[in-house]
Structure 1
């Protein structure tokens, strides 16, 4: 029902997952991530337990392949499930059950995995992987979105489109970016809009949030406010409107 990409940026060691599906709110159940721990996508006849318990295993130092071996071995429904993940050392692993609906399969490269089921063909995961690898100069979130757009252009989910999501973690357990389009005719296009909205204000305020290293966060917002004001002025000068649907400030 789904195609997704799981990746770890080798330089920053940040993790990201993007998913798209002809299924409502795929972003609610497919991606599971934690900073400095790893990232897991669970799909097909989805089992969120693969994600929650998989992260617990990763936190204890278990390898990506051992996570798969563990969650699959005890599950009588594993034949209809997919899981792919990357652990804290950048090791990737994937599993596609033999009863997942065609086309189904996965690819693994250094610090990135792609998997899908109910797809129009293998060209979908091929396009996602090739595009991700070809865009190493982009930020992680841009690489993931670009790869997913290539996969959609190659045929995507053979049933159509409904939802998509993008989730990124830096060094914390909470996400740096978590955007979803749960019920939309063009969900990846909607993700692009949401990402543009996030860049206007949200991601700048994210710099103020408390972290493991600084439990207080940044308490002086002067520089962030200046940056946002400069970006708004630049956008207005260029004649570009905001990507947001929010009402004007009162």
Structure 2
């Protein structure tokens, strides 16, 4: 009922998960990220314990394959589960239970991991991966969204569309971006709209927030407003020549 992509931004080291499904609020159920450590995406007949437990294992130094094995070994419902994991070294591993609904499976390369079930066919993951590879020039959030749009154009969830989510973590415990569309006729397109809205202020504002290195952050509102205005103007000029996220690129 779901497909997801897990990846790391080679420029910044940020970790991201994008997901879509014909299921309510999938963005609240599937993605789990530990900054600088790795990620878990739990789907099919979701086991919500996989996320916290998987992240704990990753923080303890376990590799992706070891985490997947540990998660499914203790779960008698494993045949109904699908999970994919990326570890601190960028390695991917996945499990697709034998009772997951076709089409179901997982693929990975050195850039990203993808997993899906109840899909129109393997082309959904293949096209998602292709679009991610071929849009390396895009900023990381838009690259993930363009990839998901390509997967949707290839058939997506064979039951239809309902929800989508995008979570990206940089170096902090709080996310760089965490946006969801819980119920919408065009969830990936709506997610792309929200990402565009995030660039109006949030992506610039977050640089002034408290961090692990600076537990106060910047509190000078005049400075914040002035610098954000300049950043928005520069970003708008750059965006003028970029393809729109949320739309599949030409083949």
Shared fold by TM > 0.5?
yes
Structure 2: segments with no counterpart, 5+ residues: 237-251
For 1:138-217, list aligned pairs within 5 A.
Answer: 138-217=138-217
Q: Is the 8 A contact 2:111 2:133 kept in 1?
A: no
Aligned to 2:86: 86
Deviations 1:27-47 (A, max 9, x none): 111000121111111100011
Alpha-carbon distance, 1:221 to partner: 4.2
Provide the rounded CA distance (Å) in 1 between the counterparts of 2:223 and 2:150. Answer: 37
Aligned to 2:62: 62
Deviations 1:136-183 (A, max 9, x none): 222211111010000000000000000000000001121110000000
For 1:27-66, list aligned pairs within 5 A.
Answer: 27-66=27-66
Aligned to 1:239: none
Give 3-state SS (helix, strand or coil) of 1:48's partner. coil
Q: Is the 8 A contact 1:92 1:113 kept in 2?
A: yes
Alpha-carbon distance, 1:203 to partner: 1.4
Give the length in aligned residue pairs: 235
Provide the rounded CA distance (Å) in 2 between the counterparts of 1:86 and 1:44. Answer: 18
CA RMSD of aligned residues (A): 1.6
Aligned to 1:100: 100
Provide the rounded CA distance (Å) in 1 between the counterparts of 2:66 and 2:235. Answer: 50
Aligned to 1:122: 122
Q: Normalising by the residue count of structure 1, what TM-score does the alignment of the two structures yield? A: 0.90
Provide the rounded CA distance (Å) in 2 between the counterparts of 1:110 and 1:214. Answer: 34
Q: Is the 8 A contact 1:94 1:108 kept in 2?
A: no
Q: Is the 8 A contact 2:205 2:228 kept in 1?
A: no
Pair 224,106 (structure 1): closer, same or farther in 2 beyond 3 Å: same
Provide the rounded CA distance (Å) in 2 between the counterparts of 1:233 and 1:119. Answer: 40
Q: Is the 8 A contact 2:131 2:146 kept in 1?
A: yes
Give 3-state SS (helix, strand or coil) of 1:124's partner. helix
Provide the rounded CA distance (Å) in 2 between the counterparts of 1:39 and 1:138. Answer: 22
Structure 1: segments with no counterpart, 5+ residues: 236-250
Provide the rounded CA distance (Å) in 2 between the counterparts of 1:39 and 1:233. Answer: 32
Q: Is the 8 A contact 1:34 1:172 kept in 2?
A: no
Deviations 1:35-66 (A, max 9, x none): 11111111000111111100011111111110
Q: Normalising by the residue count of structure 2, what TM-score does the alignment of the two structures yield? A: 0.89
Provide the rounded CA distance (Å) in 2 between the counterparts of 1:21 and 1:169. Answer: 22
Indicate the larger mover: 16-25 or 195-204. Answer: 195-204
Pair 216,44 (structure 1): closer, same or farther in 2 beyond 3 Å: same
